[in-house]
């Protein structure tokens, strides 16, 4: 267990007064009105508003304040009283070109977008247009295109209703080019987990959290990215459950937590210790760790069998439910500890300690996030975690399972209702029959393919339902050059961001309502629904006055574009659907009857209604109909060889950001204040490289694909990290990530293991 004194800073526990100070600072900075505080009290409760931050589930037995530090920040950030009106563009300093020198934080701080805007190349500014002009312009630009030359991206914000119609718009237009933010995120889960257990999503539900005896965290950071998770973890610790963490960096939320909801804890400062064991493995070292742990389980089972004791491996489960067991355990037996230690950066003893917790626990949940998914062999990482769980039947029974923690609040749900570039994932025959259209049957492009399509000049138009692709995607500099060459760019957004500053030949920014606002349509005020990480569907009701009379709901924008771009027919009732979202929910239910039974009636059930999951009931929708043990073909998940002076760069999140939205420059958990331009590195690595702490350095991507990728102006900061693993912030680092470096199965960019060199910066 790492002692906090080993860290270069004293972050204090997650939660506690620090979290309240963090909220108060954003409240001050974002100029939210005091009324916005009332909105916080409505978050994540039935008939309240579902938080726009992460996808962590909402408990049926909710607390008085069912929000966290970062949910509050995201809420206040959206409820800012600052407005980015057309007048902003009248200022002579605000040309699109000039704004490229602005930081992400400053662009978003201009406030909520209030009017539809069109790019005017002559003045290099955006100018106000009417909605009719915008839709007509977009329709006219889309119609002449080859359908597969247009891309319809979604970042997991928009609700299920708008998302379903967005997918319908793309297919009626003639393409399956429906990439989504999960392509950069949990696509590894969608593809890798499906391959081994037949489920593209996690298998646990809320009740399982209260029953598990042990949690194993692989590369997920609840303290920053899903802080409400800390409450069930605290409860788990109080009833004696064990938590074991594998993470190259110390994440404070996995060390200790003070529950801000508990007056006693707040007043005494009494923190709950979260992780019993914290193992700082090398970035990309998880396959070796998991192989080592599985080896221990196999050895323990052999020993128990020899001694006539109860088996450790659940052989009945293995025989009935799995394939590939014999080959896998043969590899476990043959695995060499020296190699495992070398590849993981951990000692055999440390891995044995972790395995012992696994062996002793009756019910285990394996939790993971970007630390497993964003690697060249990310799918293998996921399969290895599944191997460990399968050995003792830890999937599909109470208190046990696999828990990938999702990102955006509706990222999982958008996939459920058809935003998918892979044709076989969507019931296209049903959709065609419902709407009298002919959906294309060929696969569309994911984000990596669409980005390569842009580099090749093949992609001619991009419509973005939320997001900030130019910051989120690898090879940022190359993308900025290619993006503006398109015929059309359309961004449905709440705030200004860098993606708006590289307009296509025709370019529109379409401002949308946020989820907190009243969504009034011809049929009355509307509800939107979202799906969380546990496949629960929740209704969300906006309660605040819209940010301006000139913004539209995401659904109304989708139907506006559809009417302008898609041939009309009697079954495409875009106006009726806009008037009443309940009709759209009926359509979703007809398209996915098993998942959405009685949808309109059930959407306000406390905690949401469960969409169901085969693997949760041990129904394996894999090729063989069984859960699959995977024999690893690699011992680390990085896509390159180690070499002297070559480091594994992991791109990390600060506690003061939501993806490309930078709230501020205070990352108190990592102890980085006032700047994001840093590289964190082991002091011994710094010395060996002949550099010194505090020096300005430059990172250079160490690949030989002929592309020069560099990022300078970074302060070298000594940090407790394994040798060879370094860390720096996302999204700034995306200039360094090659588009071709991605998970081999799912093409999720390998943002947690980028090969870089470090040199002193001359500036
Ligand atoms: N406040 C806030 N909340 C968020 C977000 C945000 O940016 N800010 N983003 C949202 C989104 S879209 C997503 S997808 C989720 C992301 O949430 P997470 O999945 O937690 O993502 P990260 O913080 O990028 O990375 C997780 C952890 O992986 C560790 N790690 C890196 N490499 C390795 C490795 O090789 N092995 C192991 N075992 N660990 C490794 C990192 O140190 C980090 O602690 O959060 C969502 N919630
Ligand atoms: N190097 C590196 N790259 C990464 C990652 C990493 O860890 N490292 N993480 C990846 C991950 S996990 C993800 S999910 C992607 C995220 O990529 P994106 O989803 O593309 O990016 P976001 O930052 O979430 O998008 C922010 C923008 O969304 C808009 N927005 C906010 N709320 C709403 C809304 O309610 N509706 C609409 N229409 N728009 C809204 C605002 O204009 C805001 O500027 O980035 C990926 N890129
Ligand atoms: Mo994500």
Rounded Cα distance, 584 and 758, in Å: 53
Top pLDDT among 56 and 531 is at 531
506 Cα: distance to centroid of ligand 1 (angstroms): 36
pLDDT at 10: 72
Whole-number pLDDT of residue 678: 98
- Give the whole-number percent of the chain exceeding pLDDT 70: 98
Architecture of domain 83-185+410-616: 3-Layer(aba) Sandwich (3.40)
DSSP character string of 671-732: TEES-S-EEEE-HHHHHHTT--TT-EEEEEE---SS---EEEEEEEEE-S--TTEEEEETTG
- Could you tell me the sign of the dihedral formed by the alpha carbons of 224, 225, 226, 232, in that order? negative
Choose among 216, 225, 219: nearest CA to 274: 216
Residue 316 has pLDDT above 60, yes or no: yes
Instruction: Please check the confidence at residue 650 and state whether its pLDDT lies above 60.
Output: yes
pLDDT at 550 over 60: yes
Residue 4 pLDDT exceeds 50: no
**Can you name the CATH fold of 187-408?**
Dimethylsulfoxide Reductase; domain 2 (3.40.228)
Task: Return the pLDDT at 25.
Answer: 77
Distance (Å) from CA 154 to ligand 2 centroid:
9
Task: Give the contacts of 106 (CB within 8 A, at least 6 positions apart).
Answer: none
* Contact predicate 498/735, CB 8 Å: no
Q: Could you read off the pLDDT of 258-306 as tens digits, one per residue?
A: 877 777 777 777 788 999 999 999 999 999 999 999 999 999 999 999 9
Give the pLDDT confidence of 236-254 residue by residue, as tens digits.
Answer: 999 999 999 999 999 999 9
The Å distance, Cα 403 to ligand 1 centre, comes to 14
pLDDT in tens, 705-718: 999 999 999 999 99
Which one of the ligands is nearest to 225 CA?
Answer: 1
Q: What is the mean pLDDT of residues 472-481?
A: 95
Of the bound ligands, which one is closest to the alpha carbon of residue 54? 1
Ligand nearest to the CA of 751: 2
Domain residue extents for the chain: 83-185+410-616, 187-408, 647-760
Quick check: 296 and 359 in contact, CB under 8 A? yes
- Model's pTM, two decimal places? 0.96
**Is residue 483 over pLDDT 50?**
yes
- Ion ligand 3: residues, CB < 5 A: 185, 407
Contact (CB, 8 A) for 179 and 444: yes
Within 8 A by CB and 6+ apart from 92, the residues are none
Distance from the CA of 78 to the center of ligand 2, in angstroms?
14
Mean pLDDT throughout 553-566?
Answer: 98
The predicted model gives 313-318 an average pLDDT of 98
Ligand 1 centroid – CA 371 distance (Å): 6
CATH number of 647-760: 2.40.40.20
CA 317 – ligand 3 centroid, Å: 33
Please tell me the predicted confidence (pLDDT) of residue 13: 81
Pocket residues: Cβ below 6 A from ligand 2: 52, 108, 155, 157-158, 181, 184-185, 370, 374, 407-408, 465-469, 472, 492-495, 497, 512, 514, 554, 651, 659-661, 730-731, 733-734, 737, 751
**Ligand 1-lining residues (CB < 6 angstroms):** 53-54, 70, 185, 218-221, 224-225, 246-249, 251, 281, 283-284, 286, 369-371, 405, 407-408, 650, 652-653, 657-659, 752
Kindly state the greatest CA–CA separation across the chain.
84
Residue 7 has pLDDT above 70, yes or no: no
In this predicted structure, the answer to whether residue 3 has a pLDDT above a threshold of 50 is no
- Among candidate residues 289, 276, 277, the one with its CA nearest the CA of residue 345: 289
């Amino acid at each position: 267990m790492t002692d906090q004194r080993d860290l270069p800073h004293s972050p204090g526990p997650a939660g506690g007064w620090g979290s309240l100070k963090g909220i108060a600072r954003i409240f001050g900075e974002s100029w939210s009105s005091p009324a916005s505080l009332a909105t916080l009290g409505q978050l994540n409760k039935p008939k309240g508003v579902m938080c726009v931050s992460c996808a962590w589930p909402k408990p049926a037995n909710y607390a008085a304040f069912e929000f966290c530090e970062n949910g509050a920040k995201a809420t206040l950030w959206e409820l800012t009283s600052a407005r980015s009106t057309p007048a902003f563009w009248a200022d002579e300093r605000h040309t699109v070109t000039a704004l490229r020198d602005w930081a992400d934080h400053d662009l978003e701080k201009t406030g909520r977008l209030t009017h539809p805007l069109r790019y005017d190349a002559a003045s290099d500014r955006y100018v106000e247009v009417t909605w009719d002009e915008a839709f007509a312009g977009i329709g006219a630009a889309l119609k002449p295109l080859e359908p597969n030359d247009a891309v319809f991206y979604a970042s997991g914000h928009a609700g299920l209703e708008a998302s379903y119609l967005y997918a319908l718009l793309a297919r009626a237009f003639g393409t399956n080019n429906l990439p989504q933010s999960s392509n950069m995120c949990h696509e590894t889960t969608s593809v890798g987990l499906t391959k081994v257990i037949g489920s593209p999503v996690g298998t646990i539900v809320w009740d399982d959290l209260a029953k598990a005896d042990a949690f194993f965290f692989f590369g997920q950071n609840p303290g920053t990215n899903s802080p409400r998770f800390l409450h069930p973890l605290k409860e788990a610790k109080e009833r004696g459950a064990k938590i074991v963490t594998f993470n190259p960096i110390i994440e404070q939320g996995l060390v200790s937590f003070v529950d801000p909801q508990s007056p006693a804890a707040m007043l005494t400062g009494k923190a709950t210790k979260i992780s019993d064991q914290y193992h700082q493995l090398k970035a990309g070292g998880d396959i070796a760790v998991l192989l080592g742990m599985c080896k221990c389980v196999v050895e323990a089972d052999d020993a128990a069998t020899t001694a006539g004791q109860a088996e450790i491996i659940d052989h009945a489960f293995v025989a009935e439910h799995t394939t590939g067991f014999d080959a896998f355990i043969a590899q476990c037996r043959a695995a060499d500890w020296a190699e495992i230690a070398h590849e993981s950066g951990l000692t055999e003893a440390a891995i044995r300690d972790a395995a012992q917790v696994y062996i002793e626990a009756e019910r285990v949940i394996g939790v993971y996030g970007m630390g497993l998914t964003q690697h060249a062999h990310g799918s293998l990482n996921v399969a290895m975690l599944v191997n460990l769980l399968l050995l003792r039947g830890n999937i599909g029974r109470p208190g046990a399972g696999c828990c990938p923690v999702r990102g955006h609040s509706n990222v999982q749900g958008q996939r459920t209702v058809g935003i998918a570039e892979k044709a076989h994932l969507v019931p296209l025959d049903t959709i065609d029959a419902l709407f009298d259209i002919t959906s294309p049957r060929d696969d569309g492009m994911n984000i990596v393919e669409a980005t390569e399509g842009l580099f090749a000049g093949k992609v001619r138009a991009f419509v973005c339902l939320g997001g900030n692709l130019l910051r989120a995607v690898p090879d940022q500099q190359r993308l900025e050059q290619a993006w503006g060459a398109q015929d059309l760019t359309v961004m449905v957004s709440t705030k200004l961001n860098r993606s708006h500053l590289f307009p296509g030949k025709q370019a529109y920014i379409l401002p949308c309502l946020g989820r907190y606002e009243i969504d009034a349509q011809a049929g009355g005020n509307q509800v939107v629904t979202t799906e969380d990480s546990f496949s629960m569907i929740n209704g969300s009701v906006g309660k605040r006055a819209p940010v301006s009379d000139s913004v539209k709901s995401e659904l109304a924008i989708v139907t506006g574009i559809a009417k302008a771009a898609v041939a009309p027919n009697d079954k495409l009732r875009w106006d009726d659907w806009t008037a009443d979202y309940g009709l759209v929910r009926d359509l979703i239910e007809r398209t996915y009857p098993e998942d959405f039974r009685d949808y309109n009636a059930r959407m306000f059930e406390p905690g949401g209604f469960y969409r169901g999951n085969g693997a949760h009931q041990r129904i394996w929708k894999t090729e063989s109909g069984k859960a699959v043990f995977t024999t690893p073909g690699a011992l680390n998940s990085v896509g390159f060889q180690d070499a002297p002076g070559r480091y594994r760069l992991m791109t990390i999140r600060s506690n003061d950001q939501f993806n490309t939205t930078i709230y501020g420059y205070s990352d108190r958990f990592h102890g980085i204040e006032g700047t994001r331009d840093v590289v964190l590195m082991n002091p011994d690595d710094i010395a060996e490289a002949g550099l010194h702490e505090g020096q300005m350095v430059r990172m250079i991507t160490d690949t030989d694909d002929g592309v020069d990728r560099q990022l300078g102006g970074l302060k070298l900061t000594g940090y407790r990290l394994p040798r060879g693993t370094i860390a720096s912030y996302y999204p700034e680092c995306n200039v360094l990530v090659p588009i071709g470096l991605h998970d081999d199965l799912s093409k999720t960019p390998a943002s947690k293991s980028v090969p870089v060199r470090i040199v002193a910066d001359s500036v």
